[in-house]
Amino acid sequence: MKKELLKKIIEKKGKKIEFSVITNLEDGKGCIFEKDKPIDKNFEKYKNEIISQFNKKNNGIIEGTNIFVENYIRPIKVIIIGAVHIAQYLINFAKDLNFEIFIIDPRGYFASEQRFPGIKISNKWPKDALAEIKTDQNTALVALTHDPKIDDPALQHALKKEFFYIGALGSKKTHANRCARLKETGFADEQINRIFGPIGIKLGGKSAPEIALSIIAQLVSEVYKK
């Protein structure tokens, strides 16, 4: 790999830009591919296949060629509302995945460095904390407090910003009440129905680690539907 190409890779990774490194294994030529940008003329012949590999997040050789595609996917931001016991297990499951974790909980005795070492923590209320985090459609929200004063503002933000995944902990009755409150604040049924509530896939488990596992499984599943 040429030094110039390596510098570009390091720069783009530092800026958390999504891109692919395209390499011709026969002659060693390579380039960087970014979605919606012109492709290097040496690889224009394989443009459709490269785009397909990029969109599917697939690394590997394009079938019938010597062209290798390696994708560098921007970490997905996962914002957890509520530094509860489930959150600890959730982070343990997520630590080896391509997630950038944030925890928001104004209750400082829950959201502490001691309980969540190495995790970005905000003890501000969600409205203020979310204003300081750059969020987009590549962001996920996991609301775990059961407290409308904490969860609801975060859910409203996630709906407005069209997060790709929004989940909220609670029983069916709790979620029905949550939906009613969101409707009162002006959200349409179509928007509200995007919330996974109760959160997680149905594993049947009830313990904190089992609930966390059901959440992370649902989140990963939605990542690959993006």
pLDDT at 224: 80
Q: Residue 14, exposed/middle/buried by CB under 10 A (0-12, 13-18, 19+)?
A: exposed
Domain, as residue range, for 161 = 76-223
Residue 99: name the closest of 142, 154, 162, 36 by CA.
142
What pLDDT, in 10s, does the model give residues 11-36? 888 777 889 999 999 998 899 999 88
Mean of the per-residue pLDDT values of the chain: 92
Residues 64 and 88 placed together within one structural domain of the fold:
no
Look at residues 18, 43, 72 and tell me which one is the last residue of a structural domain.
72
pLDDT value for 105: 96
Q: Would you place residue 217 in the very low, low, confident or very high pLDDT band (cuts 50, 70, 90)?
A: very high
Segment 81-132, tens digit of pLDDT? 999 999 999 999 998 888 999 999 999 888 898 899 999 999 999 999 999 9
Distance CA 59, CA 119 (A): 29
Which candidate, 103, 167, 136, places its Cα nearest to that of 18? 136
The answer to whether residues 211 and 86 touch, using CB atoms and an 8 Å cutoff, is yes
The pLDDT score that the predictor gives to residue 1 is 62
Separation CA 83–CA 102 (nearest Å): 10
* Residue finishing a domain among 72, 99, 129: 72
Please state the domain count of the chain.
2
119 and 66 in a common domain: no
Same domain, 129 and 219: yes
